[in-house]
Structure 1
Amino acid sequence: MAGLFRSTATISAMTLISRILGFVRDMVLARVFGAGMATDAFFVAFKLPNFFRRMFGEGAFATAFVPVFTEYREQRSGEELQGLLAAVSGVLAAVVAGVTLLGMVAAPLLVWVLAPGFGDDPEKMALTADLLRVTFPYLFLISLVALAGGVLNTFGRFAAPAFTPVLLNVAMIVAAGVAAPYFERPIAALAWGVLAGGVLQLGFQWPFLRRLGMAVRPRFRPGHPGVRRIARLMGPSMLSVSVAQISVLIDTILASLLAGGSVSYLYYADRLVQFPLGLFGIALGTAILPTLSRLVSQGRDADYGVTLDRALRMILTIGAPATAGLVLLGYPILATLFQYGEFGAPATAATYRALAAYALGLMAFIGVKVLAPAFYSRQDTRTPVRIAVVALLANIVLNLALIGPLAHAGLALATSLASFLNAGLLLRALLARGLYHPQPGWPAHLAKVALAVAVMLAVAWWMAPGPGAWDQAGAGERALDLTLAVGLAGAVYLAIAWLLDVEEVRRAPRWLAGRLLEGRSGSR
């Protein structure tokens, strides 16, 4: 458990830097481009390669590659491990290169499928296709980045892969803030910034692979036994891991049929929810997959169950206050970050409605990141994919039911509800198969977290004025008021949780003190 906590904390620390820069990036985008035709076009052009990245790269590939690579590392020779990596990298590069070329050629058709509402505006459709041709090669680069990250994570090197996304944010900030005025269509600078970010990320991880002796030459060997196993595992998991991304794509298709700016509202709301999700949920999911895979490989079923239980408690401890905070303070956060220049109060209000709906599903989003790897670590991809299909179908039905009364916010709410269904069915399957048994103390843990969240909400409600006050305040006043509200509410939650002896909160200072001591001893 201590190892899982340390790994999660390390990834979270690196992710925090990336997420902060991500907010800076989005603030620059909102200030320079606002929420309109150009940003809708870019977000659609960026969303499609991001979707395929989840399928070929970070998501499905990692869930199939890490367990097999871990098994080779535990049970095979170093030469066999390098052979597996060479074969996997060669096959992955060839497949993704083919998909990339096909996507660039078929860009207009892909835009028509992904955003049919753009068809009424030929200029918007053409702009989106042009941007997509530039952003699509990012898929090839980031898939190789994901492979390198999977290798580093298996060796317990979590910091470098978690820091890598920082480089994409830096590239996009420079593109929007510096390069955009030099382009005939300023939004095109962002597409080139995405491509540059992919090159920087791949170059950054290469030296770390060399230190491990894993900087091997790719070889196209689709018949390699390890490659065949990874391919069999990856096929079903592509849908399972990508169900949330498929839901986002469906949201984009339907949002393109709504009023202008709807795609952008969903984007900015999703970005804000991605902060706690990336900072903790993805970090925990990234750390737990190699941990559970190792326990399964070693036959330590009891430790497997305890590790999973601790992870679920961590979800509640972090996810509950994050959800409550986003719902109550979402409007002030959006106004402080984005409400400048071309992004006015109406855009903030519209984005907040989507944010509140997404925030309600935060714990489910995080839960899926932990519960699905519990199956992948056992090389079981069939169960998650069956559940993912059910959740996806439910999401489509909910989209159609809620888009009428709630517009774009209905699409966000449907995604949240479908994610709860996904997480619930995964948990039920683990319980039914006897793979997970809740450890003693859950009722007390629930009560402690609920009490701490209730006190936190009371403080946040007392500190934060209504939307009108935030609209009228200047940038400095907004930032100060928001910092005080978030800081005090967060401190109150941590203090109450500490007094109530919530283990996850008690453990954090000990971990931080240990890291500081390690740093001091290492500098001597």
Structure 2
Amino acid sequence: MNLLRAAATVSGMTFLSRITGLFRDILIARAFGAGSLTDAFWVAFRIPNLLRRLFAEGAFSQAFVPILGETRNNHGDDRTRSLLDHVASLLTAAVIAVTALGMVAAPLVVSVMGSGLRGAERAGEFQSAVWMTRVMFPYIVCMSLVALASGVLNTWRRFAVPAFTPVLLNLAMIGASLWLAPRLQTPVYALAVGVLAGGALQLAIQFAALARLGMMPRYTLRLREAWRDPVVKRILRQMLPAVLGVSVAQLSLIINTNIATWLPPGSVTWLSFADRLMEFPTALLGVAISTVLLPNLSQAHAAGRRADYAELLDWGLRLTLLLGLPAALGLALMSRALVSTLFHYGAFTGADVGQTQLAVIAYSVGLIGLLAVKILAPGFYARQDIRTPVRIALGVLAATQCMNLVFVPYLHHAGLALSIGLGGCLNALALLTGLRRRGVYHPAPGWGAFVLKLAVALACMAAVLWLADHRIDWIGLQHHAALRALLLAAAIGAAAAVYFAALALLGFRPRDFRRSAAA
């Protein structure tokens, strides 16, 4: 399998997910604006999302995928099926217990997540956040099992289905916004129902793919027997530091959300929409490449092919810079155009555009660091070394909060975004240093010329974007949505054409970034 083609497949499916996600957020902005109830929804939505990242996509995947690949390589499919049965049974029991506890303790959970909602003058928002939290909490059951299925499918190199399924969440929320919201006394509650429906749809699609693969989990109530499985215990031992590592990142998110609830109403929503734009390149590039890299790095490590391991990391980093740097530049220079074109309708005002734009610019400063973390961290996970990224994450958390103390008093919600981006850069630098010191990664020759050529191409692209931003009144075109979208597409297309034409003139060719999968 060609890794560039596999990454392009994942990226293409992720692009579809992000497009539907943007359409979802456009509907939310148009219908609900950036007010107190919208803030309450985003606070409530971050709670199940936090646990999903903590127990499912984050810690679980980091521990599960390398050991699953090792078991398949060394012991065959029968032992792998047995392991899958045991893991699925234990995982399901654990997340159901967490969900039940979370639904009962929802008022306490919301208080921790958004303490700014606890004042008497915001009692209605607090109760709304509690209600939506309870509705959405079962979402983590669905997403934990989706993470299990994705780990299996990616190990078997079936990347398309796991990359596609987030589209279903967006479609469910879009359907809820259009059909259910007008029928409810509190329309924003429809979004919470849409989240739960989307989780159930994702689970159904992923398990259908497992059934076609012949790897559908066979559940058992004999949890003690599953607990005694030595490989399950290895996964759990790996999960403990992984949970701590992911907890550090999520703790930063909790703190930032909490701080945002104390800022002017709308701050949580402005950050959420800016985060959506930042996640576009993060998912299309970082997640796509990371998804393809992890199983291949795991196989290279299991086979003792150290040179292949280093080459895979080098390939991932070069591809990330090639595509990530223009994405960061585009977010910074076209922030007003992007926010206006996507969200400046209905209840979302010109002032909201300006506040969201500030957060987008702040995020763009650290985008390349956030992308690089998704490439470098698998360099540790594939070697089943989760403790080192955890120690680094703890240091980054402290640094991020110190930056909040400096930036937030002056930049408000944009200061939170800037701290996250710069924290990502610190994280990436520390991970890179750790891999170099361990002799795991040795940069291939030619990095100096590579970076210099990228700088020239980026300068050409920046000129196009600067002209587009200064010659077009993006906010003034509010009532000409089609024209504004056409102009944005033309500006982005022209900038991309100039960038890749410059790269071609400088000697870059697509074949330079092709790489075969680990055998």
Query: Fold match, TM over 0.5?
Result: yes
Q: Which residue of 2 aligns with 1:278?
A: 283
Q: Which amino acid aligns with 1:368?
A: V
Give yes or no for contact 2:341–2:474 (8 Å, CA) kept in 1. Answer: no
Q: Which residue of 2 aligns with 1:464?
A: 469
Q: Which amino acid aligns with 2:501?
A: A
Using the alignment, how far apart are the partners of 2:291 and 2:501 within structure 1? 28
1:476 aligned to 476, 482, 489, which one? Answer: 482
**Aligned partner of residue 470 in structure 1, secondary structure:** coil
Kindly report the root-mean-square deviation, in angstroms, between the aligned alpha carbons of the 2 structures: 1.5
Q: Deviations over 1:188-210 (max 9, x none)?
A: 11000000001100101122111
Q: Which residue of 2 aligns with 1:518?
A: none
Q: Which residue of 1 aligns with 2:493?
A: 487
Q: Which residue of 2 aligns with 1:40?
A: 39
Sort the Cα spacing of 1:419 and 1:216 in 2 relative to 1 into closer, same or farther, 3 A.
same
Q: Which residue of 2 aligns with 1:309?
A: 314
Deviation at 1:502, TM superposition (A): 2.6
1:163 aligns with 2:164: yes
Matches within 5 A, 1:107-118: 107-118=106-117
Q: Which residue of 2 aligns with 1:100?
A: 99
Q: Which residue of 2 aligns with 1:426?
A: 431
Deviation at 1:507, TM superposition (A): 5.0
Q: Which residue of 2 aligns with 1:238?
A: 243
**Aligned partner of residue 303 in structure 1, secondary structure:** helix
Matches within 5 A, 1:353-392: 353-392=358-397
Give yes or no for contact 1:360–1:416 (8 Å, CA) kept in 2. Answer: yes
Sort the Cα spacing of 1:302 and 1:207 in 2 relative to 1 into closer, same or farther, 3 A.
same
Sort the Cα spacing of 1:18 and 1:129 in 2 relative to 1 into closer, same or farther, 3 A.
same
Q: Which residue of 2 aligns with 1:522?
A: none
Using the alignment, how far apart are the partners of 1:108 and 1:166 within structure 2? 30
Q: Which residue of 1 aligns with 2:504?
A: 498
Q: Which residue of 1 aligns with 2:62?
A: 63
Give yes or no for contact 1:335–1:471 (8 Å, CA) kept in 2. Answer: no
Using the alignment, how far apart are the partners of 1:129 and 1:34 within structure 2? 20
Give yes or no for contact 2:474–2:484 (8 Å, CA) kept in 1. Answer: no
Q: Which amino acid aligns with 1:112?
A: S
Deviation at 1:59, TM superposition (A): 1.5
Q: Which residue of 2 aligns with 1:515?
A: none
Deviation at 1:397, TM superposition (A): 1.1
**Aligned partner of residue 256 in structure 2, secondary structure:** helix
**Aligned partner of residue 200 in structure 2, secondary structure:** helix
For normalisation by structure 2, the TM-score amounts to 0.96
Sort the Cα spacing of 1:444 and 1:354 in 2 relative to 1 into closer, same or farther, 3 A.
same
Using the alignment, how far apart are the partners of 2:420 and 2:468 within structure 1? 30
Deviation at 1:500, TM superposition (A): 1.5
**Aligned partner of residue 233 in structure 1, secondary structure:** helix
Using the alignment, how far apart are the partners of 2:239 and 2:145 within structure 1? 16
Q: Which amino acid aligns with 1:373?
A: P
Q: Deviations over 1:258-310 (max 9, x none)?
A: 00000001000000010011111111111111010010111111100011011
Q: Which residue of 2 aligns with 1:519?
A: none
Q: Deviations over 1:458-499 (max 9, x none)?
A: 011122336854334521221121111111001111111122
Give yes or no for contact 1:470–1:478 (8 Å, CA) kept in 2. Answer: no
**Aligned partner of residue 59 in structure 1, secondary structure:** helix
1:297 aligned to 281, 298, 302, which one? Answer: 302
Q: Which residue of 2 aligns with 1:25?
A: 24
1:224 aligns with 2:229: yes
Give yes or no for contact 1:115–1:252 (8 Å, CA) kept in 2. Answer: yes
Q: Which residue of 1 aligns with 2:10?
A: 11
Gap regions ≥5 residues in structure 1: 512-524
Q: Which residue of 2 aligns with 1:514?
A: none
Deviation at 1:235, TM superposition (A): 1.2
**Aligned partner of residue 412 in structure 1, secondary structure:** helix
Give yes or no for contact 1:244–1:419 (8 Å, CA) kept in 2. Answer: no
Q: Which residue of 2 aligns with 1:455?
A: 460
Give yes or no for contact 2:36–2:266 (8 Å, CA) kept in 1. Answer: yes
Give yes or no for contact 1:11–1:159 (8 Å, CA) kept in 2. Answer: yes
Give yes or no for contact 1:59–1:242 (8 Å, CA) kept in 2. Answer: no
Using the alignment, how far apart are the partners of 1:443 and 1:145 within structure 2? 41
1:322 aligns with 2:327: yes
Deviation at 1:312, TM superposition (A): 0.6
For normalisation by structure 1, the TM-score amounts to 0.95
Matches within 5 A, 1:431-450: 431-450=436-455
1:83 aligns with 2:88: no
**Corresponding residue pairs, total:** 509
Q: Which residue of 2 aligns with 1:203?
A: 204
Q: Which amino acid aligns with 2:217?
A: V
Give yes or no for contact 2:319–2:513 (8 Å, CA) kept in 1. Answer: no
Using the alignment, how far apart are the partners of 1:503 and 1:428 within structure 2? 29
Give yes or no for contact 1:12–1:280 (8 Å, CA) kept in 2. Answer: yes
Sort the Cα spacing of 1:242 and 1:306 in 2 relative to 1 into closer, same or farther, 3 A.
farther
Give yes or no for contact 2:315–2:513 (8 Å, CA) kept in 1. Answer: no
Deviation at 1:244, TM superposition (A): 3.8
Q: Which residue of 2 aligns with 1:520?
A: none
Deviates more, 1:464-473 or 1:120-129: 464-473
Give yes or no for contact 2:328–2:367 (8 Å, CA) kept in 1. Answer: yes
Q: Which amino acid aligns with 1:356?
A: I
Q: Which residue of 2 aligns with 1:521?
A: none
Give yes or no for contact 2:30–2:346 (8 Å, CA) kept in 1. Answer: yes
Q: Deviations over 1:92-151 (max 9, x none)?
A: 111111111111111111111111110111111111000000011101101101100110
Q: Which amino acid aligns with 1:173?
A: I
Deviation at 1:216, TM superposition (A): 2.3
Sort the Cα spacing of 1:207 and 1:469 in 2 relative to 1 into closer, same or farther, 3 A.
closer
Q: Which residue of 2 aligns with 1:147?
A: 148
Using the alignment, how far apart are the partners of 1:375 and 1:261 within structure 2? 39
Give yes or no for contact 2:146–2:206 (8 Å, CA) kept in 1. Answer: yes
Q: Which amino acid aligns with 1:53?
A: R
Q: Deviations over 1:335-386 (max 9, x none)?
A: 0000000001000100010111111111111111111110010000110100
Sort the Cα spacing of 1:505 and 1:302 in 2 relative to 1 into closer, same or farther, 3 A.
closer
Deviation at 1:226, TM superposition (A): 1.4
Deviates more, 1:497-506 or 1:398-407: 497-506
Using the alignment, how far apart are the partners of 1:248 and 1:352 within structure 2? 20
Using the alignment, how far apart are the partners of 2:475 and 2:507 within structure 1? 36
Q: Which amino acid aligns with 1:495?
A: A
Deviates more, 1:173-182 or 1:465-474: 465-474
**Aligned partner of residue 157 in structure 1, secondary structure:** coil
Give yes or no for contact 2:3–2:292 (8 Å, CA) kept in 1. Answer: yes
Using the alignment, how far apart are the partners of 1:283 and 1:315 within structure 2? 10
Q: Which amino acid aligns with 2:422?
A: L
